[in-house]
Amino acid sequence: MAKNYTVYWTNSEFKRIKNSNDPYIQYAFGNQLKKVQPGDILWILSYTKNDGLLLIGKIVVGREVGHAEARRIFGGRPWSQYGVAADEQTMEMFREISLNNEISKLRFISKTNDRLKYDGSFFDAQQLRAVRELTTNSASRLNSLWSSDKGRISDTAKIINSTGGGFGTPENNKKVEISAIKHVIQYLKARNWKVASVEADRKGYDLSCQKGHQKMHIEVKGISGSEVAFIITNGEMIRAQQDGNFYIYAVTDATSNPKIHIYDCIQLTEKFEIIPIAFRVFKKQSR
């Protein structure tokens, strides 16, 4: 069963991610992360004098970060021996959710120190320095706050009814698509991919990407809801069957809290039930 932990980020780390060109939280480092396993969830907290205690990130741990990768991330010798990377298919964006009303309610698995000390006015952020395991109820509460947060909803795109790419009105679908492609390009460029839009070329995918000898042909599916459901054209389906570099990047909640879900050509048929919803009809030739 997955465990839930709190991880504390200092003001400098908070400002770095807040001002970053890449809003996705990809990594967490710290010697105490040695006990964390793939599938566990890290809830990233920070504290500022003006805003108080904030929930700023969620990482579903995908894997351990090796020493060579850590050196590349830090641009030199890493300050910690241990690091973890987020599962890329569930990667979340940075947020700012106030926990000031939750401080006294949070509970940790501990026989001697199961709660945070808070007198209603002064809060010592030092008590968050340790990586601490949350109780089931407290983890559920943070997950509820995270899931219901609406702080990133655009004032100009409050699209709530359509559940998948292609299922809404043409106007709404266009807004969702533009937002999704924007986020995917931002996501890829932050990872040093060279990205070219080929939407107008009708190749069966939207983005042509290259990093060194690696290539990806990406079809972006913008989704306004949280369910990963979308329409795929016949040309895209043929491309998926014939092109080993083909990927679907499905972006759920594309206009509010975008989350990228990545599927290669094999996963597309393994993880999804593909149902024909339209047929082309020809008049029979008379004999």
Report whether CATH 3.40.1350.10 matches the domain 170-271: yes
Lowest mean pLDDT among 120-134, 162-176, 196-210, 235-249: 162-176
Please say whether the beta carbons of 250 and 259 come within 8 A.
no
Determine the Cα–Cα distance for residues 183 and 277; give it in Å rounded to an integer: 28
Give the residue extent of every domain in the chain: 4-148, 170-271
Query: In this model, does residue 97 exceed pLDDT 80?
Result: yes
Local structure of residue 21 (DSSP, 8 states): S
Specify the 3-state DSSP secondary structure of 241: helix
- Greater confidence (235 vs 128) lies with 128
Give the start-end residues of each E strand in the chain: 4-8, 27-29, 41-48, 52-64, 83-86, 97-98, 132-133, 194-197, 207-211, 214-222, 246-252, 259-264
Please say whether the beta carbons of 209 and 245 come within 8 A.
no
Determine the Cα–Cα distance for residues 66 and 95; give it in Å rounded to an integer: 27
- 170-271: same fold as 4-148? no
pLDDT, average across residues 1-5: 93
Q: What is the pLDDT of residues 33-58, one digit of tens each?
A: 989 999 999 999 998 888 889 999 99
Q: What is the pLDDT of residues 57-78, one digit of tens each?
A: 999 999 998 877 777 776 667 7
CATH number of 4-148: 2.30.130.30
252 forms beta bridges with 259
Say whether pTM exceeds 0.75: no
